[in-house]
Amino acid sequence: MVRWRLKSMLADELFCPSAPGPRRLTPWRRLQLAVTRSIESWPPAVFEEPFYRPPLPGAPLFVMDPVAIHEVLVHQAETFVHGALWRRITRPIWGRGLAVSEGAEWARQRRLAAPAFRPAEMKQFGPVASRAAERLLKRWRLQGPEVVQDVYEGALLWAFDAFVDSFFSPGKAEGLERNELLAHLRGLLKQAGTMRLSYFLAPDAHHDGRPSPAAANLTAFRQGVRRLICASLENGGSNLTRSLTTDPDLLEDNVSGYLAAGHDTSAVSLAWAVFLASSDLSIAAALRAEAKSVIGEGPLQPEHVEQLVSTRQVICEALRLYPPAYMMTRVCTGDARLGPHVLKSGDRVVIPTYALHRHRRWWTEPDAFKPSRFAPSASPPDRHLYMPFGAGPRICIGAAFAITELTAALATLFRSARFELAGEPPWPITDLSLRPLGGLPMKITIDGEVP
């Protein structure tokens, strides 16, 4: 443990967090891990080669080649669809919403939702995310100026507050029984993230028409979402609610999906970013100095977000090392070729984003925390090698919003607090997103009163 901490203090040595990587396992152990900790089951070839197909009947083709990834997600996007298993897992939360739809219906919904997520307007949400981070700091400060708290748990509270205040009615998070709604939401996500052996061994067609796993929290969660929508509409609505009110049922489906997906992925991303930045003392100091210089002592303003250059680099590197959507799956609907591999209808394709972001062939020092990769002067990575939000027409609609809120929140936290790991180094575990096993306990020292 001491050696792990000291390494991050050496100026000439990059910090490499403990995380799954290429290793050789017995077939039985690999199958066991595939169900509970999938990225730990991936063989060295997934981190080193452009393609890999497990030696099992019906096994998916792993694709790590950027040209082939472009074929799957862009050029032949209509041939490679999410498939029946994806619908079965996501339907309880998304209903008929954007993430579940395909073809013309997907295009219609995307077009309706697009105004709410226009990238040019996202900077207005920076102050909202910053205020949510300040509320989190105040919760911690009530426990004393130096406390040990689970940063991941705190990030879950921050993400919910930031989402509700950004896209609905500011200040409504508390009045809408935040803790209860959060509990129902997390119960839903836990249920949806429960893996079954059939998810890995059965063909995609096996899941077509099969009922989704029962979700005990679904009714209570949906009731909370309806109250959220009503509160927004009573106050004139937001861009999101106004753009989708032509179909009330669809509005509820998409709000449920956006809340679930945005809350979960933003929370884990912020937690990993805090861990990484605090593990390198020079980077932590740089973030603190940048936040104080750009924001000052007052509240964060919309124009501050684009000036937080170093902070944004840390966010981008955290999303590389710990992409919340650690893999993407597609199902082939017709004859296709990817590199040397011929696929037929029903064949599955896996794009292992986590391994792609640490691939030995495409990245230098792939396991090292190196935010300078994303400096303005650096060459940007290939868009089909760095994909924390996916790529192609189905790229995450909230990508610009996520970067804005994460940048604002991280700067706000580091302006007022110092973080130090309070236990063993966190280990990423696969759920619906890539979260730290056992949480992320950290010693938090807060300077004086939070603004």
Beta bridge partners of 63: 51
pLDDT above 60: residue 72: yes
Residue 195, pLDDT score: 66
Which fold does the domain 2-446 belong to in CATH? Cytochrome p450 (1.10.630)
Residue 3, pLDDT score: 37
Beta bridge partners of 305: none
| 123-133 pLDDT per residue, tens | 999 999 999 99
Closest residue by Cα to residue 88 from 220, 191, 16, 170: 191
Give dist(CA 229, CA 233) in Å, integer. Answer: 6
Q: Which two tokens stand for residue 439?
A: 């949480």
Query: In this structure, are residues 257 and 221 in contact, taking their beta carbons and an 8 Å threshold?
Result: no
Closest residue by Cα to residue 329 from 116, 109, 85: 85
| 359-388 pLDDT per residue, tens | 999 999 999 999 999 999 999 999 999 999
| 167-221 pLDDT per residue, tens | 776 555 455 467 778 888 877 777 766 666 667 667 777 777 776 665 667 888 8
pTM over 0.85: yes
Q: Which two tokens stand for residue 191?
A: 């249920």
Per-residue three-class SS string for the chain: CHHHHHHCCCCCCCECCCCCCCCCCCHHHHHHHHHHCHHHHCCHHHHHCCEECCCCCCCCEEECCHHHHHHHHHHCCCCEECCHHHHHHHHHHHCCCCCCCCHHHHHHHHHHHHHHHCHHHHHHHHHHHHHHHHHHHHHHHCCCCEEEEEHHHHHHHHHHHHHHHHHCCCCHHHHCCHHHHHHHHHHHHHHHCCCCHHHHHCCHHHHCCCCCCCCCCHHHHHHHHHHHHHHHHHCCCCHHHHHHCCCHHHHHHHHHHHHHHHHHHHHHHHHHHHHHHHHCHHHHHHHHHHHHHHCCCCCCCHHHHHHCHHHHHHHHHHHHHCCCCCCEEEEECCCEEECCEEECCCCEEEECHHHHCCCCCCCCCCCCECHHHHCCCCCCCCCCCCCCCCCHHHCCCCHHHHHHHHHHHHHHHHHHEEEEECCCCCCEEECCCEEECCCCEEEEEECCCCC
| 130-168 pLDDT per residue, tens | 999 999 999 999 988 889 999 999 999 999 889 888 877
| 80-110 pLDDT per residue, tens | 999 888 888 888 888 889 988 888 999 988 9
Domain ranges of the chain: 2-446
Does the annotation list 230 as a binding residue?
Answer: no
Average pLDDT, the chain: 87
**Longest CA–CA separation in the chain, Å:** 64
Beta bridge partners of 149: 442
Query: In this structure, are residues 324 and 268 in contact, taking their beta carbons and an 8 Å threshold?
Result: yes
Neighbours of 376 (CB within 10 A): 8
Confidence of residue 2 (pLDDT cuts 50, 70, 90): very low
Query: In this structure, are residues 109 and 101 in contact, taking their beta carbons and an 8 Å threshold?
Result: yes
| 262-307 pLDDT per residue, tens | 888 999 999 999 999 999 999 999 999 999 999 999 999 999 999 9
